[in-house]
Structure 1
Amino acid sequence: MSSMTDHPPTPGSNGFFSKQATVAPAGFSRWMVPPAALAVHLCIGQAYAFSVFNGPLTKVIGITQSAPEDWTLTTLGWIFSLAIVFLGLSAAFAGKWLERVGPRRTMFTAACCFGGGFIVSAIGVWLHQIVLLYLGYGVIGGIGLGLGYVSPVSTLIRWFPDRRGMATGMAIMGFGGGAMIAAPLSVALMNHFKSETSIGVAETFVVLGIAYFISMTIGALAIRIPAKDWKPAGWTPPETSHKMITRNHVHIDQALKTPQFYLIWLVLFLNVTAGIGILGQASVMIQESFKNTVTAAAAAGFVGLLSLFNMGGRFVWASTSDYIGRKNTYFIFFALGAVLYYAVPGFASSGNIALFVLSYCVILSMYGGGFATVPAYLADMFGTAFVGGIHGRLLTAWAAAGVAGPVLVNYIRAYEVAHGVAKADAYTMTVHIMAVLLVVGFVCNLLINRVDDKHHMSDTQLAGQ
């Protein structure tokens, strides 16, 4: 394949971590690659479970209850926000490096950063220095998140040109499901290490840092890339006349000069914004919408159900896109999502918990599906030569949505309550705004068409990469 074209020799270019060393031998089964990708994504998916540490971290000094010197939840909230921001930044700025050095070195670097971030954070807890948690999990760990997120995905796209959606769905499903492992594991470890003088968080960080480093390193060692011009047995590339799938390639820098990149950026941003704010407030939202009906335990079950649909939607929707097309898949996300968001307040006011829960489960499945479908969308539009780097730059949309979504949900709700709106009705304006955002996303998706031929790389340019 053109994306596997050799680069000019550089010092150490033939070492164990070099791109050349990861080229698969003849007869290698491509089905060995998804487990390697999952070994990374199941680890970095821990990010979605970081909130389990927030409560204990407010009692590092007080142990049983918060002391005046302890950190507040607002102070701690920046740790996760920093991690998501640096996920987006590292994925964006390391794109060219990723394509040059290959997935093994990138994934190993991600393992060092993500595992090391936990160790630095543990030291921060022991010294009670919040800046070390910001640096450890937020900055260093966030860089590990970004590198670990994009490198396995771009590799899978090259191994599965016939099933791009399914391949990316497998890996990104792991990111969605990582929290389901991390949350109970983290709680169990904190309970194990808890003592009269320790809340158990620092020790848990050390164990997780080591465990994640080992797992992600195993994935890095197992990863392989296909040889130049490899393709699945019996598979024929789509005709060049296919409207939305190209057989050409667009350079990572040239992609930023196309309207398609920015339209897909908006598509991802609007889809994520409409889901991420709700995901963060799901427990409070259902309790306030059905006051005296839904208990805290039931609300926790609702959050768990949303996580299942978020995870499952990544595989189901991305796989479906292989058959109906990426553009049509996003049409469903935006049209159905807008209808459901508009209808949800009515379900709440009528006391219909079943339809309320079902609506949000479908919405969150499409939220997850949006993450998993977009890498294949990019490969269809820009080719596979630089898809990892282009995907990395597109993930700045996730970082932006990670700020915009919660801000919309939290501040609009606060404004409504402050102006006398009952808490049960305070989310009505928010979800109607989400519906409008999805309509805008529908229009952006409608405007996407194939990339103009002038942006495609020539054979000579490809050979020089």
Structure 2
Amino acid sequence: MATREHRPTNRWLQLIAGIVAMIMVANYQYAFTLFTPGIKEHFVGTPYSSIALIFTIFVIFETWPVPVAGVLIDKFGVKLLMFIGTGLVFTGWLLGGAFAGSVKDLYLYYGVITGLGAGTIYVAVTGNAIKWFPDHRGLAAGLTAAGFGGGSALTLIPISATIKAIGWEHAMVTWGTIQAVVVLGMTFILRHPPANWAPPGWTPKITKTLAQTAESYTWLQALRMPEFYLLYLIHFLISLGGLMTLGNLSEIARYLHVETATIMGISIVAFAATANGIGSVASRIFWGVTSDRLGRENTMSVVFVLEGIFIFCVTQITGSPILFVVIFPLIFFGYTQINTLLSATTGDLFGARHVSANFGMLYTAKGAAAIFSGWGAARVAAAFAGSFQAPYYIAAACDLLAAVLAIFVLKPLVRAKLASRNLKKEADSASTMINAQL
């Protein structure tokens, strides 16, 4: 399989196939909030925090086992892991919709099984795009991640309508099947480039805005570098507010007293979730391209400050359906760039060869944040009579802290470390050439 993946191929076709796969896999994360009202009604008497725990478990298993998947992807190629991931997401939603007899069953079916599959597919597709586009990492990561947001923009209203027509259980089985079939089709297209492949004429560079390594580091080597842990902390801080919004949107609408509102006959939550998806698409493309031009850290500092402002605004829009569907897409415009910028930065700092494993390690920060953003935020809100005000104040402060870390700590550290590494490699190459001539 690995040998077949090294045949010449069109890298833009690889990018398109990855985007289509991302569109389908997005719903496992973004559609959860659409299922929560039906789950609450079906399992009467279950506290909302117990239902929110499904989302927390999903994100944990979408992220924490991903480093293992990343290592396997780099070793055996993208196809094998895509097949495994597709089988898992299909099985998870099939069992969740057809056989869940309790919320605890959904912990296993939706949380564990679907989470494992979605995380495997996500890191496989993202890593593949970065390998094929070392010269445009921000663009490739942005377009790929845009598929993840685009899936929700295209499908959340149809999923909501399906739930209304046939119930959440049958809707989960139906859409789980559709999504798995499409992802399976894209799996037959995807393949990794040859080892150490690069576009003709391209070499890593360090400029005032962009810094890229000339080396490739394994995940074990990356774990010995302080910049990895700084990126991990930034990922954790930014994920708090975004994940809290994503997993609890229906309950947040209730807290803001807009849950019964409709727009053009569509429920406020389904309409906002779709608008959130559009914001996600715009975010991943816009900030990805911007980071290629202005630099990763500069871009991070700007967008993180904006995200903190948008997060704070949630505490000020009680009772306004219009502001609800305006502010939340802006939150996703600020939040969902995180994996675009950090996956591209991972390739810049640690090289493209082991990017699936390295980004997989970094991706676990999202799982750590989910503990506080899903179940944790629901518990805090319950302690304040259902108010999400305190969790949003905390999330806004974390966004601002991440902006400070990006521009004042990460940027100077990265520039110094990469300049030192690349100079050393150039000196070693010159020494080797001289010795060969002698």
| Residues 295 and 156 (structure 1), Cα distance of their counterparts in 2 relative to 1, 3 Å cut | same
Say whether the 8 Å CA contact 2:96–2:172 is kept in structure 1. yes
Gaps of 5+ in 2: 430-438
Alpha-carbon offset, residue 111 of structure 1: 0.7
Give the AA of the match of 1:114: V
Aligned length: 413
SS of the equivalent of 1:94 reads helix
Which of 47, 61, 69 aligns to 1:86? It is 61
1:256 aligns with 2:223: yes
In structure 1, the residue corresponding to 2:31 is in which secondary structure?
A: helix
Q: Give the Cα separation in 2 of the matches to 1:145 and 1:170.
A: 18
For 1:398, the equivalent position in structure 2 comes to 366
Range with greater deviation from structure 2 (449-458 or 51-60): 449-458
8 Å CA contact 2:49–2:375 kept in 1: the answer is: no
Mapping for residues 304-319 of structure 1, pairs under 5 Å: 304-319=274-289
CA 1:75–1:335 in 2, change beyond 3 Å: closer, same or farther?
A: closer
* Structure 1 match to 2:350: 382
Return closer, same or farther for 1:54/1:155 CA change in 2, 3 Å cut-off: same
Partner of 2:395: 434
**Contact conserved, 1:177 with 1:307, CA < 8 A, in 2?**
yes
Whole-angstrom distance in 2 between the partners of 1:263 and 1:98? 25
Between the aligned partners of 2:392 and 2:52, the Cα distance in structure 1 is 23
Structure 1 residue 236 and structure 2 residue 202: aligned? yes
Cα deviation 1:207-256 (Å, max 9, x = unaligned):
333322221111111012223454334x4213367772111111111111
Query: After the TM superposition, which residues 38-437 of structure 1 pair with which residues of structure 2 at under 5 Å, given as runs?
Result: 38-47=19-28, 48-58=30-40, 73-125=48-100, 128=101, 130-190=103-163, 194=166, 199=167, 201=169, 203-233=170-200, 235-239=201-205, 244-282=211-249, 285=252, 296-297=261-262, 299-300=268-269, 301-341=271-311, 348=317, 360-406=328-374, 409-417=377-385, 427=389, 429-437=390-398
Tell me how far 1:410 sits from its aligned partner: 4.0
TM-score, normalising length from structure 2?
Answer: 0.82
SS in 1 for 2:134: coil
Contact 1:84-1:402 within 8 A present in 2 as well = yes
Q: Contact 1:277–1:408 at 8 Å: present in 2 too?
A: no
Give the counterpart letter for 1:118 in structure 2: W
Please give the secondary structure, in 1, of the residue aligned with 2:135: coil
- Quickly say closer, same or farther: Cα 1:170–1:24, change in 2 above 3 A: farther
One-letter amino acid of the counterpart of residue 52, structure 1 = L
Are the counterparts in 2 of residues 408 and 430 from structure 1 also a CA contact under 8 Å? no
Look up the equivalent residue of 1:44 and give its one-letter code. V
Task: Give the counterpart letter for 1:296 in structure 2.
Answer: A
Q: Distance in 1 between matches of 2:37 and 2:224?
A: 45
Query: What is the one-letter code of the residue matched to 1:100?
Result: K
Instruction: Tell me how far apart the structure 2 counterparts of residues 37 and 113 of structure 1 sit (CA, whole Å).
Output: 18
Q: In 2, are the aligned partners of 1:34 and 1:171 still within 8 Å (CA)? A: yes
Q: Counterparts of 1:219 and 1:337 in 2: how far apart (Å)?
A: 33
Higher helix share: 2
| Equivalent residues of 1:88, 1:146 under 8 A apart | yes
Q: Is the 8 A contact 2:69 2:81 kept in 1?
A: no
Q: Normalization by structure 1: what TM-score?
A: 0.78
Structure 1, unmatched stretches of 5+, are: 1-17, 61-65, 460-465
Give the superposition deviation at 1:90: 2.1
Tell me the residue number matched to 2:404: 443
Structure 1: how far apart are the matches of 2:89 and 2:143? 21
- For the 8 Å contact 2:346–2:359, the answer to whether it is kept is yes
Rounded Cα–Cα distance in structure 2 between residues aligned with 1:130 and 1:284 = 17
Give the conservation status (yes or no) of the 8 Å contact 2:216–2:352: yes
Q: Tell whether the 8 Å contact from 2:129 to 2:141 is kept in structure 1 after alignment.
A: yes
SS in 2 for 1:24: coil
CA contact (8 A) 1:42 1:177 kept: yes
Instruction: State the percentage of identical aligned residues.
Output: 24
Q: 1:317 to 1:411 in 2, by over 3 A?
A: same
State the Cα RMSD in Å.
3.3
- Residues 345-380 of structure 1, C-alpha deviation per residue, up to 9 Å, x if partnerless? 5x649x998778655543321101112211001101
Q: 1:281 to 1:54 in 2, by over 3 A?
A: closer
Q: CA deviation at 1:383?
A: 0.7
Flag the 1:334–1:144 CA change in 2: closer, same or farther, 3 A. Answer: same
Q: Deviations over 1:107-135 (max 9, x none)?
A: 1111111112223324423xx25554332
AA at the equivalent of 2:203 = P
Larger Rg: 1
